[in-house]
Amino acid sequence: MNSDLKTLLTGVRDGTVSVDDALLQLKMAPFADIGYAKVDLHRKTRQGAAEVIYGAGKTPAQIVGILDQMCAAGQKTVLITRLSPESAAAVRAVCPLDYRPEARAALFGPMPDPTGIGTVVVATGGTSDLPVAEEAALTAEVHGSRVVRLYDVGVSGLHRLLAHLDELMSASVVIAIAGMEGALASVIGGLVDCPVIAVPTSVGYGASFGGLSALLSMLNACAAGISVVNIDNGFGAGFLASRINHMEAKK
C-alpha cells in the first residue's frame, strides 16, 4: 500500500496525476462498490490463490453479483464458503459451480496446481469435525497447497494418531481440528516441529458449551508452536496454513 502511495505521489509531482484524481484514486481504486457490498479487488493474485466469498447471509443473487465483479476483475478461481445446498443450486443455475457438500463450500473456476514448501496436514479428533476439516482442506487447496487428510485420529485412541507419524512429521503445517476436550492440538504440537494451527469445533454437548471447552484447551496448549483460530473457522485455518506454506525469503 505504501509503495502504491509513493507511486501516486510521484505521479502527482510529475503532473501525470492531478490532485483531485489522486484523492479520487485513493478512495475508489481498491474495491468495487455494488451497493450491498464493497468487493475487494486490490489483493494480488500471487500463487494462483483463489478469492473467497463468505456465503452465509448472502442471497444467491448477491453471490452471483459479487462473482461477476470478481470475474470482471480477472479472478480465475473463487471459493464460496458457508454455502447451503439450496443456495449452491440457485447459484449453479446461473454459473457453473463445483459444490462440495461435505465442506459446505463451492469452487468456481479451476483448482490451482499445488505449490508451496510442503504439505498441509488436516487432522481431526472425530468424524463430526469433518465439515470444518473439509472447509480448511479445500481452502488450503484453492490457495495452492497440497493437503493430506487425517480424520478421526483423536487422542482417546492414541494408536490411531501414532500410526500417522510419518505424515505428521513431514508436514510443513498441521491443522489440528477437534471439539470436546480439544487435546489433539497439544499432542500433535508435542510430536511435530512445524507450525500447528488449532481449530476448536462446536462439536459436543453439555460442558463443551458450543466449542468453548476446546477453545480454552487449545489456547492453553503446553506445547510450543501452536496458535488458535475461531471456533469452527476452517477457512481461517486453511488460509493461514497455505500462507505459511508459501513463505519465502523477502528480498
Contact set for its own copies, span 105-164 (CB under 8 A): 117-119, 125-128, 130, 151-160, 162-164
- With contacts defined by CB under 8 A, how many residues of the chain interact with its own copies? 118
The pairing of beta strand 78-81 with beta strand 105-108: antiparallel
Say whether residue 194 binds its own copies (CB under 8 A). yes
Query: By CB neighbour count within 10 A (0-12 exposed, 13-18 middle, 19+ buried), where does 127 fall?
Result: exposed
Cell numbers 459436543 label which residue? 204
**29-88 residues near its own copies, rule: CB under 8 A:** 29-31, 36-38, 40, 42-44, 52, 56-58
In the complex with its own copies, the residue whose CB is nearer, 63 or 96, is: 63
CA–CA distance, 173 with 171 (Å, rounded to integer): 5
Question: Please, which residues bridge with residue 150 across strands?
Answer: 123
Among 27, 74, 86, 113, interactor with its own copies by CB under 8 A: 27
**197-226 residues near its own copies, rule: CB under 8 A:** 197, 200, 202-226
Q: Residue 91 Cβ, how far from its own copies at the closest point, in Å? A: 17
Q: Residue 88 Cβ, how far from its own copies at the closest point, in Å? A: 19
In the complex with its own copies, the residue whose CB is nearer, 95 or 117, is: 117
Q: Quick one: which segment of 12-20, 67-75, 86-94, 106-114 binds its own copies (CB under 8 A)?
A: 12-20
The pairing of beta strand 78-81 with beta strand 98-100: unpaired
Q: How far is CA 46 from the centre of its chain?
A: 15
Q: Residue 84 Cβ, how far from its own copies at the closest point, in Å? A: 14
Question: What is residue 42's DSSP assignment?
Answer: -
Q: Residue 68 Cβ, how far from its own copies at the closest point, in Å? A: 16
Among 13, 74, 86, 113, interactor with its own copies by CB under 8 A: 13
Three-state helix/strand/coil letters over 114-171: CCCCCEEEEEECCHHHHHHHHHHHHHHHHCCCEEEEECCCCHHHHHHHHCCHHHHHCC
